[in-house]
């Protein structure tokens, strides 16, 4: 993560989740991240509707040039990036796995803007709608509406599972050849 807003929100989200894969939506206190609210959004995980915005910060709406409530998140992206961002968002929600992405967009004057997108899941509960939160923040302080976003890079944020004391003891007494599952 390169953007300070992404790092700060991820640290808060990570603290709130504790040992769980993701925090409950009710655990996120807007007052605790007051300085980031302009960059934060919440998406409803309805892929057939393009993951509509439930909430979008003022800076996120300014980047789109309109109010984003109930608007499609995927529609903000170029046709070439749309399927990919829908898949990434679905995996974040279904696998409770965060993702970070680099984006570019064109300003009205023709210059390019570079942005960072952070997508983080909420813990799913029975009888509650599935949603995803995140940050969309430009790397410069210029304001104004941008054109469609295009993905330039992305990766999932994999947090290794914490070893339980029993698993640690098991590893200490193991002898011979052992195969450890690693990261790609």
| pLDDT tens digits, 120-170 | 999 987 767 789 999 999 998 877 889 999 999 999 997 555 544 545 555
As given in the structure block, the two tokens for residue 17 are: 């989740």
Please classify residue 110 by burial: count the beta carbons closer than 10 Å to its beta carbon, then call 0-12 exposed, 13-18 middle and 19+ buried.
Answer: exposed
Residue 130 lies in a domain: yes
Task: Give the pLDDT confidence of 8-37 residue by residue, as tens digits.
Answer: 999 999 999 998 889 999 999 999 999 999
Q: Is 39 within the bounds of a domain? A: yes
User: Considering the domain boundaries, does residue 181 fall inside one?
Assistant: no
The SS3 call for residue 52 is: strand
CA distance 14 to 28: 11
What stretches of 126-184 show up as alpha helix (H) in DSSP? 165-173
What residues make up the domain containing 97?
A: 4-173
Sign of the torsion formed by the C-alpha atoms of 14, 15, 21 and 23: negative
User: How many separate domains does the chain show?
Assistant: 1
Determine contact, residues 109/117, Cβ cutoff 8 Å.
no
pLDDT score, position 163? 45
Q: What is the CATH number of the domain that holds 159?
A: 3.30.450.20
């Amino acid at each position: 993560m390169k953007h300070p807003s992404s790092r700060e929100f991820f640290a808060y989200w990570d603290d709130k989740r504790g040992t769980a894969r993701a925090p409950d939506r009710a655990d996120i206190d807007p007052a605790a991240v007051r300085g980031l609210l302009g960059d934060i959004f919440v998406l409803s995980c309805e892929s057939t509707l393009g993951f509509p915005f439930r909430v979008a910060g003022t800076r996120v709406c300014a980047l789109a040039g309109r109010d984003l409530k109930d608007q499609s998140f995927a529609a903000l992206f170029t046709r070439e990036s749309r399927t990919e961002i829908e898949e990434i968002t679905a995996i974040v929600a279904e696998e409770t796995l965060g993702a970070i992405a680099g984006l570019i967009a064109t300003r009205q004057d023709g210059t390019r803007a570079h942005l960072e997108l952070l997508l983080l899941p909420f813990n799913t509960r029975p009888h509650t709608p599935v949603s995803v939160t995140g940050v969309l923040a430009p790397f410069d302080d210029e304001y104004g509406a941008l054109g469609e976003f295009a993905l330039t890079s992305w990766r999932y944020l994999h947090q290794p599972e914490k070893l339980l004391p029993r698993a640690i003891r098991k590893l200490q007494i193991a002898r011979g050849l052992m195969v450890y599952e690693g990261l790609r």
